[in-house]
Structure 1
């Protein structure tokens, strides 16, 4: 691998694509172009990205890195994408059906447009591979656990980026709150994940924009038995209709909720704050104390009202130092991709 290269980092969502072209030199990463595309699923966002690179006379990428939310039970490290990896990614669709399929489709599109470029999969689950058995184990029979049902954890690239930014001076016990449309918390001891809120899928944990977070499984059984919900209907409920959107009766955008003045919007905000406080306390318990609380993600970085409300309910812990830090997921993708790209 040469010292310097240009990496196209792709962060594929269910209905949008964040992208960036980065010049990577060792561990340094410089953004040359960043953007986001939104549009119909049948559009080709790569064409727009290539056009943008050309118009700004930017270099073509030497490699492409993808954020992949879930690699399934057999892939827990960032890795080059080859045929064997594509098989693993296809299997991982079942673990995160909202996130993995569009990302896999993007890998295939890139292969068609850039057939000679190496591609790398950067997994949100990788950072949490260090969790101890007691934290990753779900209370289920052995035959189910042996089939890969465990707590995986997500937002790993975001947590990696915070740990990297904190550097050698990182305190021993850090709780990181990645709060956004997707939201989770992570307990970090000496730079390594030891507990987190999301579980087998990115649906669990704290309240999110359209996802409920932790939910009594009896609720789902009730809906199946009494309301006739099948797996597809349940999936739609927990991925797209719950969380802030379900509580407010229409919006998952915290900024809009702040601007609204009705009982439903207030309830949505209060529930979000209440659950975040409880789960921060749970992460503190896993660490045996706390030296620093970091807020990141769209809400964590930009919403002082919500941050202050969360902190106000944690005063019983004592004087907890807190920081707001910008997540650098896409830069992490670029670094990992270049480090895994051969000469």
Structure 2
């Protein structure tokens, strides 16, 4: 069988075609649409392992973007698709497992928009469009929250009245597919699963997750992907009184005020708000190196928030055996990794500067160590393989159907 996996964000779509002719899904083709709705959208699609240059396209909304994806994957020279899977950030309080998409599931997802207004609406539009183009195929939803269902109630409960908790207001956690892909990569390469591990997923969205024996016990994101550590355009955790202050500062009616603050917290906060620059760590670091003090402040606030989260979870677990960096920044920004790990020698955490800078020359082993051999806590950088873990779930659900 061949599976089409669609991993959509608020302004992007990554997609892959996987074959299930082996014990583990194998990627055949991959592509992405970036900059949806910005007027500067680009499209890239190629055989896995090859490279190509992105082309500029017109993609003013998710529907236009997914139509481009469908056009690409239905070319006559490509293998026919047998099932489609979609990454959905938030399932809401009613859906607690990856599932085949039905009218009932779509209804629950529409309700979940209340919890993830930045991500879920575009995902739902993409699902509807995908089902229209492939009406005879089974369609599945994979959720970013499911991996965190092993968290105990003491980690998920907010200290608010029961009437709100009964509505599903709790800590859900996100980047679960990324975290699960790290654990699965360890299994698939016979890497010993550590007892106490922290995964720092650092990209445009960022989270830190604590795991015991491969199971999530706590994570930085909460009810929505806006909370936790500082991110590209999101502030992370805030004093609730600050949100009230922001609401009181808005002009216009209630709905206008809420939409304005919601947009601020999801699009105009975080690193970009502190630096005054676009949401791109490379340009932020370049500006800081050229003497831009606001860019340097943004970087310092970001790395400090990551260090605080890692420190809290290390204390919570009574120590730390393995720390993993993943995500766009976590995998590729050597300076962020060095800054997060700076000054921890007395705690037995020592980075090897040469390993931190080195490229992975072992493509069959994605788990690349960057800590010194004498470090008590081992530190690795590992790619987030969300599409691959989704393909595994699709294969399992198709087998069980």
Question: Is the TM value for this pair above 0.5?
Answer: yes
Q: CA RMSD of the aligned region, Å?
A: 1.6
1:335 shift after superposition: 1.3
Give the equivalent residue in structure 2 for 1:287: 317
User: Which range moved further: 114-123 or 250-259?
Assistant: 250-259
Q: Is the 8 A contact 1:63 1:338 kept in 2?
A: no
Give the equivalent residue in structure 1 for 2:14: 18
1:79-118 correspondence to structure 2 within 5 Å: 79-118=99-138
Distance 2:344 2:82 in 1: 47
Give the equivalent residue in structure 2 for 1:147: 167
Check 1:194–1:26 CA distance in 2 against 1; reply closer, same or farther (3 A cut). farther
Distance 1:152 1:50 in 2: 32
Give the equivalent residue in structure 1 for 2:302: 272
Give the equivalent residue in structure 1 for 2:30: 34
Q: Is the 8 A contact 2:250 2:257 kept in 1?
A: no
Q: In the alignment, does 2:254 pair up with 1:250?
A: no
Q: In the alignment, does 2:31 pair up with 1:8?
A: no
1:44-63 correspondence to structure 2 within 5 Å: 44-55=64-75, 57-63=77-83
Q: Deviations over 1:214-255 (max 9, x none)?
A: 011111111222444711011011100000110001222110
Relative contact order, higher structure (CA 8 A, sep 6+) = 1
Structure 1 residue corresponding to 2:268, chosen from 241, 251, 259: 241
Give the equivalent residue in structure 1 for 2:341: 311
Structure 2 residue corresponding to 1:223, chosen from 246, 255, 258: 246
Q: Deviations over 1:125-157 (max 9, x none)?
A: 000011001111111111111111100000000
Give the equivalent residue in structure 2 for 1:133: 153
User: What is the SS of the residue equivalent to 2:200?
Assistant: strand
Q: Is the 8 A contact 1:254 1:299 kept in 2?
A: yes
User: What is the SS of the residue equivalent to 1:60?
Assistant: coil
Q: Deviations over 1:187-232 (max 9, x none)?
A: 0101100000000000000010000000111111112224447110
What TM-score do the two structures reach when normalised by structure 2? 0.82
User: What is the SS of the residue equivalent to 1:310?
Assistant: helix
What TM-score do the two structures reach when normalised by structure 1? 0.95
5+ unaligned residues in a row in structure 1: which ranges?
none
Q: Is the 8 A contact 1:130 1:194 kept in 2?
A: yes
1:120-199 correspondence to structure 2 within 5 Å: 120-167=140-187, 169-199=192-222
Q: Deviations over 1:275-297 (max 9, x none)?
A: 10000111212222110000000
1:49 shift after superposition: 2.7
1:313 shift after superposition: 4.4
1:316 shift after superposition: 4.4
